[in-house]
Structures are given as structure tokens and as C-alpha cells.
A and B are shown apart, each in its own frame.
Chain A
Amino acid sequence: MTQWSGYFGLILQGALVTIELTLMGSVLALIMAFLAGLGRLSRFFAVRALATAYIEFFRGTSIFVQLFWAYFVLPFIGISLTPLQAGVLALGLNVGAYGAEVVRGAIQSIGREQYEACIAVNLGRWQSMRHVILPQALLVMLPTFGNNAIELLKATAVVSLISLTDLTFQAQVVRSQTGNTMVPFTTILVIYFGLALIISWGVRSLERRMARGLDGVRV
């Protein structure tokens, strides 16, 4: 019988890498989503065009190709990234492009009367965004952001192919060392599912927290 405890330690190390990647990727994705989402609503044509190009490019090509491009092609033009940097960069930029559409949709879903009220109380563009529009739009964005975070978690499996030691990579290591396939792959499937459940639970409770005090305001 194989000594499983050591191998489970290996898989747990992989889980840590996966969690780290998911967190860092999500932070980058969140920043990009707001930059590009607000960029698409900008008054300036150049900013709108840039944001649209970014969104279409990263949604149009697959995450896998972007990751390989970041890892294998960028070194030839002088930018060498570690696997972790390439992974966070590709994941964050890719999911950020999807998130940008969520930000744009949520902001546009806020009713006209809110904008008119802002003008009536003499708020500037930035002030109305910051104090009136975004607090309401954030609540609309949250559920979809949760789904995007789960997509990001699932996409992290791809980084194992550029030799980053995440869950999937470690499962392959265990497979090649023990010859057993059922145990490592089932284990990591369950771990991924557990992580996805944690994310959706976290987003739901955050949603409840943020919705507090808005009862009766939203229809």
C-alpha cells in the first residue's frame, strides 16, 4: 500500500498555490474590471476605444493562449516572467475583461432619476459616481463577480501547464509517482469544488451585508 500522507501534503501545498493565484488574480481582475468598465463609459473617445480593444482582445482569445503567450513569447521581446507572474497576469487580465462588462452593465442599470437627482443636488461627475451610483451598482455587480471568481479559480488549473506547482500539477506528480489515478484526481476535484463553494458562500454573505439598509430602496 502506498504511503498516502506524504502525497496529501504535496496536494495541500498545491492547494495553497491555487488559493494564492486565485486571490492575486482576483485582485488584478477587480482593478482591471473597474478601469476598463469605467473606461468604456468615459467621455473621451480614446479612452473608450482603448477599453473596448482591451475587453474584446482578452475575451476573444482563450485564457490558455494568453497564458502561453505571456510565458513563452514575452521573454523574446525582453520581458521575462516567472510562472507565477505570468499566471497572475494572464488570469487577472482575462477575467478582468469579463468583469469590465459586468461593471459597465451594472452602472448602466442604475436608473436615470438617480443621475438627475445628482445633478439636482449639484454633485460633480466623480462625486455622483462615488457617493450615489457606485454604492448601488456594486450590489448589482456582486453576484456576477462571484461567478467570475469561480471561473478564475477553475482557470488556475491551466497554469499547471506552465510548470507552476498548483493543485493540478501536484496531482500529476502524485499520478506519475504512484501510478494511481483515481485518488489524486478525485481529491483535487473535491478540493476545487470546496473552494468554489467557499467563494459562492462568501459572496452571498457579502451581498447580504451590503444590501443592509437598502431594503425598500431597490425594487
Chain B
Amino acid sequence: MEWDWNFVWEIMPTLIQGVKITILATLLGSVLAAIVGLAIALARRSPNKGLSRTVGFLAEFIRGTPLLVQLYFIFYVLPDIGILLPPLVAGVIGLGLHYGTYTAEVYRAGIDNVPRGQWEAAKACNLNARQTWTHIIMPQAIPPMIPALANYFIAMFKETPLLSAITVLELMNQAKSVANTYYRYVEPMTLVGAFFLVISLFSVVLLRWLERRYGRIEK
């Protein structure tokens, strides 16, 4: 089977539409993952043992099971108990929750990395818990986390094709439907691969820049 450039140009507009959804899902998923990760990290530091253990186990469970199955769960099981979500929303929630459990570890490392003296100084200055977090700990903890967080967002981007399994019309799904219509797999599938490769290579450059700008978390 030969590579056909005319066919490539013909299917390009459809694929570009898919790309838009892929990027939208990644952005929304990243925002959600950043929030969920912070919530998990804070809950695990809570003095309330019940809360920190429960959240810890749930995060462990989500991290130990496949994203695809979680997406099915959100998409097929939740409607049974009355929560009907559009595919894209279900997909973003799945991505955000799954990667939130990973970003939680980044937050944990970042927070642990703030020297003890900073906590003690905050206490000595009579700051309350909220002030300590917002003015002392977070401003120092977040910059070194940025490269590590970005790394997970790139990983998430590479998982977005899974959303095609719950009928989100992202890049992979558009490519599959084009392939099934014309019964030509070589061009659509290769283009999807090339597209992911190009974006990932660019994001590696971006990541190196972020690492230079903000430094890495020392383990």
C-alpha cells in the first residue's frame, strides 16, 4: 500500500478538528489534576488520621488501576446512579483524577522540600496556618515543582487517545473514523503518531527550559 499525499491533505481538516479537542481535553485535565493533586497532598498531611488514611488509600487505588477502566467506570457506571455526563466531561474528570494522584506526589515532595526553619520562622512571627501556607510555604514550594508537574501534563497528553474509547471525538477517534470510511489505515494512523511525536518533542524543549528557569526538586 502506497503513501498518498492527496489523501493526507483531504483528511487533514478532520484531523485538525480532533487535535483541537485533544488539546482542550489536555488543558482542562491539567487544571483539574493540579487542583486534585493539591487537595490530595493537603488531605494526606491532615492531622485527622481517618481523612489522611482514606484519601491515601483512594489515591493508591486510582494509581494502581488503568485509566481506561476508570473512564469506562465514569462513563458507564455513573449514569446508573443518575449522573449523566457528556463524554468530554467524563474524559476530563477521568484524566484529572488519575493524574491528580500523580501530581499529589509532586506536591508532597515540593512541600517536604521547604526547610523546617521556614515553618519555625512562620510560627515565631505568629502567622496562623492559612498565612503560613499562602505566604511562606507555597511561594517557596511551587516554583521547583513546575517542571515535574509539566512532565505529568505531557504524560497526560499522551493518554488522551484513550478518550476515543468513550466516544470523545478527539484526534484518535477522528483518525479511526476516517480510516474506517476509506479503509486506509496507513496515513491516518501514521499522522496521529507523527502529530504526537512532534508535540512531545516540542514539549521536551519546553520542559528543559522550565527546568533551567525553575530548577528541579532535589529528591
Name A residues whose Cβ lies closer than 8 Å to a Cβ of B. 56-57, 59-66, 68-69, 72-73, 76-77, 150, 153-158, 160-161, 167-168, 171-172, 175, 181-182, 185-186, 188-189, 192-193, 196-197
Name B residues whose Cβ lies closer than 8 Å to a Cβ of A. 1, 61, 64-70, 72-73, 76-77, 80, 158-162, 165, 172, 176, 179, 185-186, 189-190, 192-193, 196-197, 200-201, 204
Contact of B172 among A57, A64, A73, A167 (CB under 8 A): A64
Q: How far is the CA of A57 from the CA of B77 in the complex (A)?
A: 36
Measured CB to CB, the closest approach of chain B to A193, in angstroms, equals 5
CB contacts (< 8 Å) of B1 on chain A: these are: 76-77
Q: How far is the CA of A21 from the CA of B144 in the complex (A)?
A: 38
Number of cross-chain contacts by CB at 8 Å = 103
By beta carbon, the residue of chain B nearest A65 is B193
By beta carbon, the residue of chain B nearest A197 is B64
Measured CB to CB, the closest approach of chain A to B173, in angstroms, equals 11
Question: Given the known A-B contacts A156-B66, A181-B80, A192-B66, are A62 and B159 also in contact in the complex, defined by CB atoms under 8 Å?
Answer: yes
Contact of B158 among A56, A57, A62, A76 (CB under 8 A): A62
Is B200 touching A157 in the complex (CB atoms < 8 A)?
no
Is B76 touching A185 in the complex (CB atoms < 8 A)?
yes
Measured CB to CB, the closest approach of chain A to B98, in angstroms, equals 10
Is A192 touching B193 in the complex (CB atoms < 8 A)?
no
Is B186 touching A76 in the complex (CB atoms < 8 A)?
yes
By beta carbon, the residue of chain B nearest A175 is B76
Question: Given the known A-B contacts A65-B172, A68-B189, A73-B185, are A158 and B68 also in contact in the complex, defined by CB atoms under 8 Å?
Answer: yes
Is B77 touching A157 in the complex (CB atoms < 8 A)?
no
Question: Given the known A-B contacts A65-B172, A65-B193, are A182 and B80 also in contact in the complex, defined by CB atoms under 8 Å?
Answer: yes
Q: Which 5 A-B pairs have the closest CB atoms?
A: A157-B66, A196-B64, A60-B200, A62-B158, A64-B161
CB contacts (< 8 Å) of B192 on chain A: these are: 65, 68
CB contacts (< 8 Å) of B172 on chain A: these are: 64-65, 68
CB contacts (< 8 Å) of B76 on chain A: these are: 175, 181, 185
CB contacts (< 8 Å) of B190 on chain A: these are: 69, 73
Question: Given the known A-B contacts A60-B197, A72-B189, A77-B1, are A193 and B61 also in contact in the complex, defined by CB atoms under 8 Å?
Answer: yes
Question: Given the known A-B contacts A72-B189, A158-B68, are A189 and B73 also in contact in the complex, defined by CB atoms under 8 Å?
Answer: yes
Is B179 touching A72 in the complex (CB atoms < 8 A)?
yes
Q: How far is the CA of A185 from the CA of B64 in the complex (A)?
A: 15
Question: Given the known A-B contacts A64-B172, A77-B1, A181-B80, are A192 and B197 also in contact in the complex, defined by CB atoms under 8 Å?
Answer: no
By beta carbon, the residue of chain B nearest A72 is B185
Is B77 touching A181 in the complex (CB atoms < 8 A)?
yes
Is B68 touching A188 in the complex (CB atoms < 8 A)?
no
Question: Given the known A-B contacts A64-B172, A65-B172, A76-B185, are A171 and B200 also in contact in the complex, defined by CB atoms under 8 Å?
Answer: no
